[in-house]
Amino acid sequence: MQTDSIPFANAMFVKDELSATPSTTIFGIKVHRNFSHVALIYVVEKNTPYLIDAHIEKGVAIASAEQYIKDKKLRFMVLRPRADLPQLKKDSLLPQKAARYALDEAKKRPIPYDFKMNFADSSAMFCSEVGSYAYRKNGIQLW
Q: Is the pLDDT of residue 3 over 50?
A: no
Q: What is the pLDDT of residues 99-136, one digit of tens each?
A: 999 999 999 999 999 999 998 899 999 988 999 999 99
- Quick one: what percent of the chain has pLDDT higher than 90? 48
The mean pLDDT of 40-55, rounded to a whole number, is 90
Mean pLDDT over residues 47-62, rounded? Answer: 93
Q: Quote the strand ranges of the chain, DSSP E.
A: 24-26, 29-31, 39-44, 48-55, 59-64
Q: Are 43 and 23 in contact (CB under 8 A)?
A: yes
CA end-to-end distance (rounded Å), the chain: 23
Amino acid 30: pLDDT: 80
Residue 59 region, left (φ>0) first, then alpha (ψ -120 to 50), else beta? left
Give the model confidence (pLDDT) of 63-95 as tens digits: 998 888 787 765 566 678 888 889 999 999 999
Query: Which domains does the chain possess?
Result: 24-81+89-136 (3.90.1720.10)
φ/ψ of residue 128, rounded to 5: -70, -20
Q: What is the pLDDT of residue 74?
A: 53
pLDDT value of position 29: 78
Would the pLDDT of 8 be above 60? no
Q: How far apart are the C-alpha atoms of 79 and 95, rounded to whole Å?
A: 11
